[in-house]
């Protein structure tokens, strides 16, 4: 059985992982016979957002503890991640990718990436794992990998420009499609950067994970 790791950034689109995208990634992987483990950095969230009214709240929350809600408690500190154990490393989107896993939401092209996230990606590059970024999370790949890596966040001009200013190559893709970089084994899909429903997110993710399975089977 092949193994995949999903890296979460909290629980909820406005301050953590986009829950639909995380669950769709899990469903796509498990339905293709992957054993899936969850990881998250053991850090504090940038802030907490009330998802009912969009207002910030004062309680400080842990990215790892909040991510455990999606993982049903079965989650590990990202500092413990070992790329040698996995065929796939996946990052769902949500603002947590741009606020907790990186500072892209605040610093744009000058953003910094969490050290454990950066280490996980660089180690997965060395092992030749398939690396997946959904929604806004490809900005992390642009910062960590650069070097002309092919990515998509859909069709948002400002974000596409930021990706290219970090040394990546952006390609326009619809919500039901994906981009693949064959040099770095990186797959990206726009998800809720363009999608208007979970069904559209699933269409793009399913197509992407089918391609990843073909890639892994051909190795």
| Active site (catalytic) residues | 135
Residue 156 tokens read as 């948002």
Is residue 69 left, alpha or beta, with left meaning phi > 0 and alpha meaning psi from -120 to 50? alpha
β-pair type (130-134, 169-170): unpaired
Burial class (CB in 10 A: 0-12, 13-18, 19+), 198: middle
Tokens at 214, concatenated: 């073909």
> Is residue 151 a contact partner of residue 170, using CB atoms and an 8 Å limit?
yes
């Amino acid at each position: 059985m092949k193994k995949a790791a999903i890296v979460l950034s909290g629980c909820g689109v406005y301050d953590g992982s986009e829950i639909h995208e995380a669950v769709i990634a899990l469903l796509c992987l498990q339905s293709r016979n992957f054993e899936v483990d969850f990881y998250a950095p053991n850090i504090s969230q940038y802030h907490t957002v009330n998802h009912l009214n969009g207002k910030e709240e004062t309680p400080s929350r842990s990215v790892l503890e909040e991510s455990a809600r999606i993982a049903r408690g079965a989650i590990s500190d990202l500092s413990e991640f070992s790329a040698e154990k996995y065929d796939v490393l996946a990052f769902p989107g949500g603002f947590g990718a741009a606020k907790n896993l990186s500072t892209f939401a605040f610093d744009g092209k000058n953003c910094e990436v969490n050290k454990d996230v950066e280490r996980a990606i660089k180690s997965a590059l060395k092992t030749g794992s398939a690396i997946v970024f959904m929604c806004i999370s490809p900005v992390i790949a642009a910062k960590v990998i650069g070097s002309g890596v092919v990515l998509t966040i859909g069709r948002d001009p400002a974000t596409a420009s930021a990706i290219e200013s970090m040394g990546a190559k952006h390609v326009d893709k619809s919500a039901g499609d994906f981009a693949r970089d064959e040099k770095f084994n990186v797959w990206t899909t726009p998800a809720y950067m363009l999608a208007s429903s979970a069904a559209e997110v699933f269409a793009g993710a399913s197509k992407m994970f089918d391609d990843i399975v073909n890639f892994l089977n051909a190795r």
